[in-house]
Chain A
């Protein structure tokens, strides 16, 4: 048996400042900044551009126990052609469903640009053994999901076991293969903006393609200050490492007005480069119709009855 090495006289420290700097977030100031940005007045062609971009960047979502092939088929049709009356309205980026519904969604969107995203890793709680989570991911990828929305283990995070959270994300990323990985932080359960920032950096360091606010099952979800904190983390990672990570606010965004506020946040925090479906998604179920209604209003000058927009 080998002898244990003698204790070194000192120990190793990171001598350079670690990048990116973890730092902290001031709650009052970040709320104030988000409120100020929310007051930007977006009008006319700038508004129309924002609305159409919001459609293009949407993950049209249904995550219910009651989801059926029929429900998902309807959702996919809506995703491909959101406004049957106005064909200039673009398709959404993806539909987001539970794993069992992936094959039906895949079939329906085949041949269109619409992607299929699925939640995995013991969504929404994440309180499952790692091998179950990994099996969940592999099975979902096999079913044809283009994108995997995973949840972090908040229990581990909140008890300070960051290495476990980090390790799980790395393993999930590996299990994803070519599927694109979005990491859900469930910010509504993290309690502080400091935690939101920490979890964002952790997820990005572990290989997330996207970081995502919420499952949609917990409130509050994608508030503006939370989005701002996550975007600032994305910006810092990009500045300091060159790595480009996307952002997906999800949950609680129901109106076109809110969506535009989120886009302003992106525009003035990480910059216009992020205003593309490759780097930004809205996770939403009821947002689309309000955006469609506003697009119609911008184009025709008049609001139309909600009856003119399909409920899917």
Chain B
């Protein structure tokens, strides 16, 4: 017998083969960066009146990429003025089908230049090229395509309500999906006939600045979209500006609350898309291997810099052990490193500040008594990196189960019954998203009715589509982006309460 028997029955594993993937970096050459950028106001590049610039870096190696203008109150004033001129002198009275043409054009140019944008997005933000190439860019173009379609159908979208544009929209976007969040904001605003002043995040302004090139290529009338860069001070100036009719903010709950306080009583419309601490609920009848993929995609996608990240894993106790074993094994195959390498799964943390915040919260988790697991992986010496992390033995009262970490850190909790799962999932100040994994269709619907979350994914996670509204409950904000709902905040209606207004 010998040979054959051995092969079948408990054979010792053969010696491991050495198969290390060779580096496969996407070329950087496709991106041409200027040394210094001004502000994009009225279709022109302006030097900031403030006279201030700051360096934007690549978080993967901390090398400076370009000098970025720090817009002051005066600069913001110019931008809002340009947007107001453009609104009054043409854009708002342009025939809707003409507006649509510009949006279609922008969408097509984004598709044509998608490789360039994807590289830039990874370079400046640290996200893996696989994600910027396969998620950010296709979705950004899709948003423009989708809202282009609505531009000339607003009367049908909101029958008998006489929809008309709000005016000048001030938009402030975060650093986790710089171009995609720009698309989420600009596409519906323009489709509804508004003009825009947009402030990209301090650490990731480059794709928004390259987007100005797209606007010129699309021959969008000057002043319809203005881009002002800078830190929180620029954002504050935009929020406070009297010429702005509507503020749309995506970012931290803390800043969102400050904006809401600031705007109280001003009559400006507001939508907020803030933080989250989503529960990803795994029932014992779920397809386990795919649930593991969903967990990984839920929390390690974009280094966990996702407001709807599935950062709390709720596992039914009867499958806790096999599931966590599978999850840990899967973690060991995640490839952490150079964002521009096509095989990288987890890239760089966006900034030193964010890295420190993650480190601080992870330390608190260890201190409070949770058990930490990180797969063995070599992190690059330069740049901001953090190993994918799982905490087990987490109690609902620990900070890592309550606070948004916004990093690749997962907290695992258990539950016994569906009721308990709902109770724990909803036991948070946030309410942006949730995931449900079960093979039982009726339980999916039962859960979806009870989860206080703007988005509930069933047997998948972190899936986005321009046709689907996105937004939160409670401290995750209000107002919806995407879908028909996403147009409402950018429209005024006759005699009707408007959503989030």
- Chain B, residue nearest A23 (CB): B288
Given the known interface contacts A28-B459, A29-B459, A244-B13, the answer about A267 and B19 at a Cβ–Cβ threshold of 8 Å is yes
A243 to B19, CA, bound (A): 24
- Among the 9-residue stretches A62-70, A93-101, A128-136, A273-281, the one with 4 or more Cβ atoms under 8 Å from chain B is A273-281
Beta-carbon contacts under 8 Å, B133-181 to A: 134
A271 and B22 form a contact (CB under 8 A):
no
Chain A contacts for B4, CB-based, 8 A: 176, 178-180, 209
B289 and A25 form a contact (CB under 8 A):
yes
A47 and B22 form a contact (CB under 8 A):
yes
Pick the contact of B7 from A30, A244, A273 — CB < 8 Å? A244
- The reply on B267 being an interface residue by CB < 8 A is no
Please tell me the number of chain A residues within 8 Å of chain B, measured between CB atoms. 47
- Chain B, residue nearest A204 (CB): B8
A46 and B289 form a contact (CB under 8 A):
no
Interface mask (A11-53 → B, CB under 8 Å = 1, otherwise 0): 0000000000101111011101100100111111111011001
Beta-carbon contacts under 8 Å, B248-302 to A: 285-291, 293-294
Beta-carbon contacts under 8 Å, B1-48 to A: 1-4, 7-11, 13-24
- Chain B, residue nearest A231 (CB): B289
B11 and A244 form a contact (CB under 8 A):
yes
Beta-carbon contacts under 8 Å, B459-473 to A: 459-460
A7 to B110, CA, bound (A): 74
Beta-carbon contacts under 8 Å, A202-226 to B: 207-209
Shortest CB-to-CB span from B148 to chain A, Å, is 28
A207 to B285, CA, bound (A): 27
- The reply on B399 being an interface residue by CB < 8 A is no
A178 and B333 form a contact (CB under 8 A):
no
B460 and A29 form a contact (CB under 8 A):
yes
Listed A/B pairs (25) with beta-carbon separation below 8 Å: A23-B287, A26-B291, A26-B459, A29-B293, A40-B21, A43-B21, A43-B22, A43-B23, A44-B22, A46-B19, A46-B21, A53-B19, A178-B3, A178-B4, A208-B8, A209-B4, A232-B289, A243-B8, A243-B9, A244-B8, A245-B8, A272-B19, A275-B19, A276-B17, A279-B14
Beyond A30-B290, A33-B293, A244-B10, 13 additional contacts (C-beta under 8 Å) are A21-B322, A25-B290, A28-B460, A46-B21, A53-B19, A176-B4, A178-B3, A180-B4, A209-B4, A209-B7, A209-B8, A244-B7, A272-B19
- The reply on B496 being an interface residue by CB < 8 A is no
Chain A contacts for B325, CB-based, 8 A: 239
A30 to B325, CA, bound (A): 19
- The reply on A268 being an interface residue by CB < 8 A is yes
- The reply on A306 being an interface residue by CB < 8 A is no
Chain B contacts for A10, CB-based, 8 A: none
